[in-house]
Every structure is written in structure tokens, then in C-alpha cells.
Amino acid sequence: MRAWWVGKPGPVAGHPLVFGERPDPSPGPGEVLLDVRVCGVCRTDLHLAEGDLPPRQPGIIPGHEVVGEVVELGEGAARFRIGERVGVAWLGGTCGRCRFCLRSQENLCLSPTFTGWDRDGGYADRVTVNEDYAYRIPEVFSDEQAAPLLCAGIIGYRALSRAQVPDGGRLGIYGFGGSAHLAAQVAMHRGASVYVMTRSEEARRLALELGAAFAGDADDEPPVPLDSAILFAPVGWLVPQALRALDRGGTLAVAGIHLSDIPPIHYGSELFQERQLRSVTANTRADGEEFLRVAADIPLRPTTVPYRMEAAAQALQDLAADRITGAAVLHMD
Ligand SMILES: [Zn+2]
Ligand SMILES: [Zn+2]
């Protein structure tokens, strides 16, 4: 099969991803083999290619927003039929035994496996997935629309719950890419007003088009105190700034897996008055199932930019340079 894998991690301009032929994977017990139709491009793929996340397997194939068709069932796999459309997301496996798994916090599992980091992902013609960690995709979404839901959407949804937006509250969103533009739609559907701060003019336009109350530059102050905020941009210096924008009792959730260093936080003006700073770590399968139901009910309108599979390296460069509005999606055919 054709695939992209991580060669020597480094800046995307230096082509850290390699394109070539790899043997087809075969499904192990409890796994299914998919013919990949599309795979979304997530910022985590960029962190992996650039070495911010050290690859956990040599030659790992990135990609954890996979939509594919089941073509083979591994031993004992019975959840899906051949030909069924299935989604593969970031959480590829958990131990099921640690104290976090046992208390419904499998996102904090002590020995998790992640798609496109521990096990090969979907920048390829074929991929295997443990069937217990795969998703059925609501019919209302095309393949291309469904891809960004599988990480950008699910993580944005968990970030939204971690940000504890009160009913009718004011939510600030810092950075407005694939994840943010989906989380914003859910928040507004639930009655929140949304204030977006992003350096991309194109993204500001999209935010207003989707119904945001305000769209300013990355370091603009929102016009009102925020009840909640989510930091999607992987930019640590925005943390104190976002904390200052919070109202008393407000909550800031940091959504990314990687963040540049946070400058010193001033206790009096940035944390006192019961402001809270929280991170968001992966997701549980329950988050994923719930989000896909919510997404189909609204229904969400993912903004996507298609790329041919051969152009994956270009897609990552475009993502690094903020040239993508919404979410990039690779097409395998
Ligand atoms: Zn566990
Ligand atoms: Zn992701």
C-alpha cells in the first residue's frame, strides 16, 4: 500500500515525512482492516512530524481522523460488517485495568495507545483498528465532513465540557482552526455567545459567518469578561492573557497536546477570584459517542479543505503556516 511515515522529525520545510510503499497491515484478534477513504490532518500530526511529540515507533504512519470501509475482520471481531463505514480516532486502546480506566477516566489511562503515534494511522491506503475503539459515523456526514469530527470535533467537545460554560454564558476561543470551529458551533447551539481571538483573517471571517459575537486578532481583548475560555492555539504566552480576560470564577481550558512555555502567571490579576486553569487530555470513548450524536443532531457544518493523499506534506506545511481555514482532509483515491 501507499503510505506516509515519519522519517527524521524536524521542521516541515525539511520534509520530515516520507512517502512510499509499505506492506498491507493485517487485522489481529479483535481488529478490523479498513480501506481508508479519507484522513483528516490534525495539528498533532504536525507536532509528531516536527518532533514536538517524539515518535513512539520508528517509521510511524500518522493520521487519526480516518474514515474507511471494513474489508477484513480479525479473529473474533464481530462489531462491524464487511463494507461498513467506520471511523478511527486518536484513542487507539487503553489497558482497562488501571485506576483511571476503572473509574471511567480512560482518557487518563496509564498505558494507552494512540493512533498515528503508537500504532500506524491513516495517512495510508489501509489501516487496522481495534474494533472496540472504532466509531460508527452518522449518515448525515459525508466522508470528508466526518474526518475532522474524529479528533478535532471530539477534543473540541471535551474542551468545551472542561471549560464549564454556564447556560447562556460567554465563551472565549483562542485560535480558530479545525477543532475550534466545531466546538464554537456546539457552544452557540447551546446558547453561549462566542468571542474568537485568532491571527488568521480568514478564520475571523469564518467565525463571524458561523455566528460568533466577536472576532479579533490573537492578542485582542474580548469586549466583555468571559465566563469560560478555550485555548486551541499551542501558544503558552496566551495563557496569562486569556486568564485576565476571564470574569471572576471563570475557567480556562487548554486544549492542545503540546503548548509552548507559559510565562509567569500573576496571582492577583490572573488566578485569584477563583479563576481556574485546566488542561484537556485526549478523550474517553463515551465522549466520542456522545459528540457524534450531538454533531448529527445539530447538525454541525465542518469547513474542510480537500487534498490528494500525495499532497500530505503540503497540507502539513499549509497548516503550519496558518493557510488552512477549517480542517484539511486527505483523499486516498
Ligand atoms: Zn488504563
Ligand atoms: Zn488530533
The structural domains of the chain, with segments of one domain joined by +, span: 2-149+282-331, 154-279
Pairing of β 85-88 and β 246-254? unpaired
3 in Cβ contact with 22 (< 8 Å):
yes
Closest CA to 201 of 218, 225, 188, 187: 218
Nearest ligand to the CA of 44 is 2
pLDDT at 48 over 90: yes
Question: What is the Å distance from ligand 2's center to 269 Cα?
Answer: 33
Q: What is the pLDDT of residues 3-30, one digit of tens each?
A: 999 999 999 989 999 999 999 999 999 9
Question: What is the Å distance from ligand 1's center to 104 Cα?
Answer: 10
Superfamily for domain range 2-149+282-331: Medium-chain alcohol dehydrogenases, catalytic domain (3.90.180.10)
Give the contacts of 229 (CB within 8 A, at least 6 positions apart).
Answer: 163, 171, 172, 173, 174, 242, 245, 246, 250, 251, 252, 253
Report CA dihedral (55, 283, 37, 83) to the nearest 10 degrees. 120
Q: Which grid coordinates belong to 181?
A: 470551529
- For residue 151, give Cα distances in angstroms to 24, 67, 103, 169, 232: 24, 12, 23, 25, 13
Q: How far apart are CA 65 and CA 114, in angstroms?
A: 12
Q: What is the pLDDT of residues 282-316, one digit of tens each?
A: 999 999 999 999 999 999 999 999 999 999 999 99
Query: Which CATH code fits 154-279?
Result: 3.40.50.720
pLDDT at residue 273, as a whole number: 97
Q: How far apart are CA 211 and CA 191, in angstroms?
A: 11
pTM: 0.94
Q: What is the pLDDT of residues 232-291, one digit of tens each?
A: 999 999 999 999 999 999 999 999 888 999 999 999 999 999 999 999 999 999 999 999
Question: What is the Å distance from ligand 1's center to 256 Cα?
Answer: 21
pLDDT at residue 121, as a whole number: 98
Q: How far is Cα of residue 314 from the mean position of the Cα atoms in its chain?
A: 19
pLDDT at residue 257, as a whole number: 84
Q: How confident is the model at residue 322 (pLDDT cuts 50, 70, 90)?
A: confident
237 by Cβ neighbours in 10 Å (0-12 / 13-18 / 19+) ranks as middle
Question: What is the Å distance from ligand 2's center to 198 Cα?
Answer: 19
pLDDT at 331 over 90: yes
pLDDT at 326 over 90: no
SS3 128: strand
Q: Which grid coordinates belong to 164?
A: 464549564
Q: How far apart are CA 292 and CA 67, in angstroms?
A: 14
Q: Matching CATH topology for 2-149+282-331 and 154-279? A: no
pLDDT at 79 over 90: yes
Mean pLDDT of the chain: 96
Nearest ligand to the CA of 284 is 1
Q: What is the pLDDT of residues 124-173, one digit of tens each?
A: 999 999 999 999 999 999 999 999 999 999 999 999 999 999 989 999 99
